[in-house]
Amino acid sequence: MKKQFKLGVIGGGFMARAILQGAVGSEFLRPKKIVVADPSQAALDKLEEMGVGRTRDNRFVAENCEYLLIAVKPQNFPAVAESLQGIAVEKVVTIMAGVRKQKIAAAMPWTQPKIARAMPNLPCSVGAGMTALDLSDFDDVDDCAFIHALFDNVGNVLDVAEEKLNAVTGISGSGPAYVYMFIDGLIRAGMAQGLTEDEAQTLAINTVAGGAEMVACSEGKPIEELISAVCSKGGTTIQAVESFRRDDLYGAIDRAVAACVRRAEELSE
């Protein structure tokens, strides 16, 4: 039987809104084909301008949608699953960090949904996101195309196996925070060398954005070659690069990512 809504969403937080803005703004989905449930009226009010359906009733959403997007914090999932007792949910997409498909299925033993796991990141809110997607439960071409498009509209998508999603969390899921810290460090350093905050911020943001774009356009050229291309023997850049190496910049990054992945694994247990 055809459902009233193409997409139902449980959880109306920041990331859910970003995904929906991409879907509606690109005209991939009409607002009337979307319904969102959240216990917070304030969260629902933020969706008003988008024109999507809004409710506090999880069951209404699950019963009346073709695809169910679960966009709540991992610790809130058990209560969500309990609220859906007895409902035959067929297609689930989840953006919950660390919550494996096996755990989701075990919490909903009365039904056997196909489950896709997605790990989007914060830049999805400006259409420049990176989403890792496990679609291994789905074999229907139309289902895969729909779920892919949901995230294509807020950035780039990479298909990965579920067992790699914790590593994805350490790189792209949490990675924007590392980039923000590096930009902040450049701004602070620039100000310490006499630049105004606005000057330092403009230089730092555009340099990081341009550097990332150059890596993306380098057609497989090793990053070490790009680093060497900026450095000249006895010049200025090599002094900074050697300072980073003495301070074990790569080691610090590796340890930070490993700590993030460990936490994701803890959440998976």
Q: What is the DSSP string of 90-117?
A: -EEEE--TT--HHHHHHT-TT---EEEE
Residues 47 and 99 grouped into a single domain: yes
Residues 94 and 147 grouped into a single domain: yes
Residue 224 structural domain: 173-268
Closest CA to 68 of 18, 122, 5, 142: 5
Q: What CATH number has the domain bearing residue 206?
A: 1.10.3730.10
Q: Exposed, middle or buried by CB within 10 Å (0-12, 13-18, 19+), for 38?
A: buried
The whole-number pLDDT of residue 11 equals 97
* pLDDT digit string, tens, across residues 155-170: 999 999 999 999 999 9
**What 3-state DSSP class applies to 4?**
coil
Per the structure block, which two tokens stand in for 231?
């450095």
* pLDDT digit string, tens, across residues 93-120: 999 988 999 999 999 999 999 999 999 9
Residue ending a domain, among 132, 166, 200, is 166
Q: Exposed, middle or buried by CB within 10 Å (0-12, 13-18, 19+), for 168?
A: buried
Please state the domain count of the chain. Answer: 2
Residues 55 and 81 grouped into a single domain: yes
- Kindly state the greatest CA–CA separation across the chain: 72
Q: Exposed, middle or buried by CB within 10 Å (0-12, 13-18, 19+), for 117?
A: buried
Residues 157 and 191 grouped into a single domain: no
Tell me the whole-structure pTM to 2 decimals: 0.91
DSSP per-residue letters across 197-263: HHHHHHHHHHHHHHHHHHHHTSTT--HHHHHHHH--TTSSHHHHHHHHHHTTHHHHHHHHHHHHHHH
The whole-number pLDDT of residue 269 equals 76
Please give the Cα distance from 150 to 130 (Å, whole number). Answer: 12
Rounded to 5 degrees, what angle do the CA atoms 214, 26, 141 make?
90
Residues 37 and 123 grouped into a single domain: yes
The whole-number pLDDT of residue 267 equals 79
Please give the Cα distance from 77 to 107 (Å, whole number). Answer: 9
The whole-number pLDDT of residue 166 equals 93
The whole-number pLDDT of residue 268 equals 79
The whole-number pLDDT of residue 237 equals 96
Residues 179 and 159 grouped into a single domain: no
Residues 98 and 11 grouped into a single domain: yes
The whole-number pLDDT of residue 98 equals 86
Per the structure block, which two tokens stand in for 230?
């900026």
Residue ending a domain, among 166, 196, 227, is 166
The whole-number pLDDT of residue 220 equals 83
Please give the Cα distance from 184 to 257 (Å, whole number). Answer: 19
Q: Exposed, middle or buried by CB within 10 Å (0-12, 13-18, 19+), for 160?
A: middle
Residues 180 and 160 grouped into a single domain: no
The whole-number pLDDT of residue 262 equals 93
Residue ending a domain, among 166, 195, 211, is 166
Per the CB < 8 A criterion, the answer to whether 105 and 81 are in contact is no
Residues with pLDDT less than 70, the chain? 1
Backbone φ and ψ for 170, nearest 5 degrees, come out as -70, -25
